[in-house]
Amino acid sequence: MEPTKVITIRDINRLIKMKLEGDASLQDIWLKGEISNFTRHSSGHMYFTLKDEGGRLKCIMFASYNQRLPFAPKDGMKVLARGGISVYERDGQYQFYATAMQPDGIGSLYLAFEQLKRKLEAEGLFSERLKRPIPSYPRTVGVITSPTGAAVRDIIITIQRRNPAVNVLLYPVSVQGTQAAPSIVKAIAAMNALGEADVLIVGRGGGSLEELWAFNEEAVARAVRGSRIPVISAVGHETDFTIADFAADLRAPTPTAAAELAVPHAAELRQRIAYMRGQLVRSLRNALERSRERLSRARQSPIFMQPKRSLLVQAERLDRIRERLDYRMNAQLARQSDKLARLTANLKAKSPEQQALLARQRLDTNRRSLTLAMNGLARTNANRWSSLVRHLDALSPLKVMARGYSLVYDERERSLVRSIESVQPGDLVRVKLTDGKLSCQVWGIEGEDVQDG
Amino acid sequence: MASKDELNVAATEEQASITFEQAMESLESIVSKLESGDVPLETAIELFQEGMRLSSLCGQKLEQVERRIEILVEGESGLGRKPFVPAQSDS
């Protein structure tokens, strides 16, 4: 036979470990047994063996888990341990790795506690959203506990000490034994029916798990959660948690603490009232101060301080406007007078006086020209005349007559006798000579050939 | 004008009608309103007066020592009550 595959010890141990750890039925289990061979290593880890009639099992509880153990395990002790099976690879040894441990005897109760807690938690009964606020100033505190015993005394003394004005209404119940849970449930219902208490304290002094058991019962937890009146749970001493604690609106570690949580201290209240009175005074003073400041600011406004100034501003404005008005008016005036001057000049330029002047000048000029022309003409004519006169003089018949010529006129000296034909013999004629006339009578007529020219 | 007696009666009636908690809450809200500082002066004065009145009312209520410590007992006609004094020393 030939091995097909060789596996190392380490690998097989690891494989076994994985198999075991993967098996849910070997994980998160509870074991009951007696401790033997207990050792506590210097590292803090605990090593021991758990045994019962039928067998034994090596166990280890690491320091991180055993630090919070509520008891000291030792040889011969019967315990209930929670944990899972795994393998210590190096030794090939399977062991129980414990994460929690309880002394046995109460072990079954502890299991029941865990189971109920998980159930109610899953149901949401412990939800923070369901928790109601505890009233700040209760008039009456309802107390549900044993009428005998330290718890009720602690609660009443604490309430009296803190606030003498708060009433206490005690509903006596038995807090251990089989009757405990039903009586607590009934008391909570009765307190709610009565409706007098503003807050309920439900609890008892410390004790063993068995003694506290009533507060781990489902009925009590539901009654606590179902109460209309807010509930402060006060069970045991400090570290003991009960199901009722989880269900309550507020958990107090002790009955005394519950009373303190339920009732405000009168002295603190007085302090608070005094503080608020002080705040009232301070706030009002501040308000007054602020108002006063506002008033004085308003009073110091320039309008009140120098009323004239605001008038001056207006006066100045008026002046400015006047200046502008003047300026505009003057400018307008200047423009208009310019225009007037221009028009006047134009008008003047076109004035008839000027035209008259010009006309006169022209007239004068013309007159002078005329005079000159006339004079010229006169001179010219005078010259002509004198030349003509000279000429005429030269042509004058008298001159001719002076040379011996004479003129013959008819007898009446009306017409000149130019031809022999105009006279008849016998006619009287007048002959004009240079120095007088002769009256003559024609005696003969003798024609003469006259050659023209 | 109300007489002094009438005022006293009114004050007592108010003391009975308003709880300490209500008075404290009113007082606290008045204080925070005044502290905020944005109330008109007239309102501030009114608030102040109301606040001072409430604070003395709270003080009075606090000093009223008429505490009852009673235990409920089951009788034939249902729940009865009687004064309760816890045992002096026990555990």
Tell me if B29 is assigned to some domain: yes
Tell me if B40 is assigned to some domain: yes
Judged by CB atoms closer than 8 Å, whether chains meet at A137 and B19 is answered as yes
A184 and A226 together in one domain: yes
**Contact A174/A156 with Cβ under 8 angstroms?**
no
Question: Domain count of chain B?
Answer: 1
The whole-chain average pLDDT of chain A stands at: 86
CATH of the domain at A229: 3.40.50.261
Q: What is the pLDDT of residue B1?
A: 46
Higher-pLDDT residue of A318, B20: A318
Q: What is the pLDDT of residue B2?
A: 47
Tell me if B90 is assigned to some domain: no
Q: Please give the average per-residue pLDDT across A423-451, as a whole number.
A: 83
Tell me if B91 is assigned to some domain: no
Tell me if A318 is assigned to some domain: no
Judged by CB atoms closer than 8 Å, whether chains meet at B61 and A165 is answered as yes
Q: Residue A434 — pLDDT band, cuts 50, 70, 90?
A: confident
CATH of the domain at A67: 2.40.50.140
A45 and A121 together in one domain: no
User: Range of B61's domain?
Assistant: 4-83
B81 φψ region: left (φ > 0), alpha (ψ -120 to 50), beta (else): beta
A68 and A171 together in one domain: no
A75 and A189 together in one domain: no
Tell me if A360 is assigned to some domain: no
Q: Is A371 on the interface with B (CB under 8 A)?
A: no
Residue where one domain finishes, among candidates A264, A293, A308? A264
Q: Is A133 on the interface with B (CB under 8 A)?
A: no
Tell me if A44 is assigned to some domain: yes
Tell me if B72 is assigned to some domain: yes
A217 and A117 together in one domain: yes
Residue A360 has pLDDT above 80, yes or no: yes
| CB-CB neighbors (< 8 A) of B90 in chain A | 148-150, 153
Q: Shortest CB distance from A284 goes to which of B44, B71, B90?
A: B44
Q: Please give the average per-residue pLDDT across B65-89, as a whole number.
A: 77
Tell me if B36 is assigned to some domain: yes
Q: Please give the average per-residue pLDDT across A50-78, as a whole number.
A: 87
**Contact A233/A215 with Cβ under 8 angstroms?**
yes
Cα separation, A262 vs A168, in Å, equals: 11
Residue whose pair of structure tokens reads 């005094």 in the numeric block: A274
User: Range of A16's domain?
Assistant: 9-104
Residue A3 has pLDDT above 70, yes or no: no
Of all residues in chain A, the one with the smallest CA distance to B22 is A137
Residue whose pair of structure tokens reads 């042509």 in the numeric block: A395
Q: Shortest CB distance from B21 goes to which of A136, A168, A288?
A: A136
Q: What is the pLDDT of residue A452?
A: 55
Residue where one domain finishes, among candidates A264, A297, A326? A264
**Contact A284/B48 with Cβ under 8 angstroms?**
yes
Count CB pairs under 8 A between chains A and B.
121
Cα separation, A215 vs A181, in Å, equals: 7
- Give the minimum alpha-carbon distance from A109 to chain B in angstroms, rounded to a whole number: 26
Cα separation, B44 vs B50, in Å, equals: 10
Single out the residue of A107, A105, A81, A111 nearest to residue A95, CA to CA.
A81
Tell me if B78 is assigned to some domain: yes
Max mean pLDDT among A4-8, A32-36, A396-400 falls in A32-36
Judged by CB atoms closer than 8 Å, whether chains meet at A280 and B44 is answered as no
Judged by CB atoms closer than 8 Å, whether chains meet at B30 and A190 is answered as no
> What pTM does this model have?
0.52
Q: Summarize pLDDT for A225-278 with one digit per residue, the tens.
A: 999 999 999 987 656 688 999 999 999 989 999 999 999 888 888 888 899 999
Cα separation, A181 vs A188, in Å, equals: 11
Residue where one domain finishes, among candidates A233, A264, A295? A264
Q: What is the pLDDT of residue B72?
A: 86
Percent of chain A residues topping a pLDDT of 70: 96
| CB-CB neighbors (< 8 A) of B87 in chain A | 148, 153
Question: Domain count of chain A?
Answer: 3
Residue whose pair of structure tokens reads 């005044």 in the numeric block: B34
C-alpha separations of A271 from A56, A86, A278, A282, B61 in Å: 66, 62, 10, 16, 14
Tell me if A217 is assigned to some domain: yes
Q: Please give the average per-residue pLDDT across A273-293, as a whole number.
A: 88
A92 and A124 together in one domain: no
Q: Please give the average per-residue pLDDT across A58-82, as a whole number.
A: 86
C-alpha separations of A91 from A14, A18, A87, A149 in Å: 11, 15, 8, 56
Q: Please give the average per-residue pLDDT across A15-26, as a whole number.
A: 92
Tell me if A395 is assigned to some domain: no
A202 and A90 together in one domain: no
The whole-chain average pLDDT of chain B stands at: 76
Radius of gyration of chain B (CA): 20
Percent of chain A residues topping a pLDDT of 90: 38
Q: Shortest CB distance from A170 goes to which of B35, B39, B71?
A: B71
Q: Please give the average per-residue pLDDT across A311-321, as a whole number.
A: 84
A118 and A94 together in one domain: no
Q: Please give the average per-residue pLDDT across A294-321, as a whole number.
A: 81
